[in-house]
Structure 1
């Protein structure tokens, strides 16, 4: 049951996420290409420079939570039931998206986004395994 629902919603969800990454949340085209390649340090600098906790939660936690559904991709693509294959495939895709943000200047290409998004996929993979083990008749 859950797999059928997932198969229906993952494509529109992916398109919505791409919209947010390129056009949503008040995005604008930067005057120059921006890349941040200091792992974790740029997120720490963002947290230190941000006054409102809502912004920190929305950006940092959002970069994890919004990607949890991609941890379930093994339901559609059996080869992605293997964590190594899933993470390699996802990281390849998210690096392409981050590069597109850089080249279009519609966002910032950040290594921390790759790390946080991939952590979200990993959490989704763990949740998927839990659901399959505990609620196998509903999945």
Structure 2
């Protein structure tokens, strides 16, 4: 009976996480439809995602504790499936939807949307390490340190979850070549979408930072030490 009561608490926590995520999703859709400016920054969206993940994790830990051993991997996998959905939606919101919304509102209040030619000239960079080098050399002198952190640290972290999710859900992605191809393709699609929609910036350094972040996580995921830990935590089956 005690474990049953604890299990109910676990499901309530997991449900609370889903409710919070649904509320955030509702707010995002409402903002888009109501033509309101979006003021989420990359770090802010990460913070919301972390809160949702922690609440769901607490619920999952309680559920796993109350479950039979053979059922535990299933519950853990459900948690990561949910986290993958949350991550992908917040990623699209941070990189595409919020920026499209702001651009659309700007045009409605008289702000001219940048032409494709001007965007290509001023908002794109195809020279590797040009932007990274500029931020590192600047050190907050002419650019706000928050902007530097958002662009360097934010891009390192932004795609890093793919280093776990892709090999976790897809066996073919556990090979380095397949993972690299998939990660590069996803990055190019995102940067290409920003270029075509003229939002954010299309920067090869973003791809470099994103790839470094997800490759570090991927290589850690592949280590025998981590695999052994995952087996003990019911993240993967023995």
Query: Where does residue 108 of structure 1 map in the other structure?
Result: 201
Q: Aligned runs of 1:118-133 on 2, under 5 Å?
A: 118-130=211-223, 131-133=226-228
Could you tell me how far 1:28 is from its partner in structure 2?
Answer: 4.4
2:93 to 8, 15, 19: 19
How far apart, in 2, do the equivalents of 1:84 and 1:27 lie? Answer: 36
Partner residue of 1:5 out of 59, 75, 79: 79
The structure having more radius of gyration, on CA atoms, is: 2
| Matches for 1:27-66 after TM superposition, within 5 Å | 28-29=102-103, 31-32=114-115, 33-34=119-120, 35-47=124-136, 48=138, 50-66=142-158
CA distance in 1, matches of 2:100, 2:150: 13
- In the alignment of these two chains, the number of paired residues is 139
- Alpha-carbon offset, residue 24 of structure 1: 3.8
TM-score scaled by structure 1? 0.85
Greater shift after overlay, 38-47 or 8-17? Answer: 38-47
Relative to structure 2, which stretch is displaced further, 99-108 or 32-41? 32-41
Query: Does the CA-based 8 Å contact 1:70-1:121 persist in structure 2?
Result: yes
Contact 1:87 1:121 (8 Å CA) reproduced? no
Greater relative contact order (Cα < 8 A, sep 6+): 1
What is the RMSD computed on CA atoms of the aligned residues? 2.3
Deviates more, 1:21-30 or 1:35-44: 21-30
State the TM-score, normalizing by the size of structure 2: 0.52
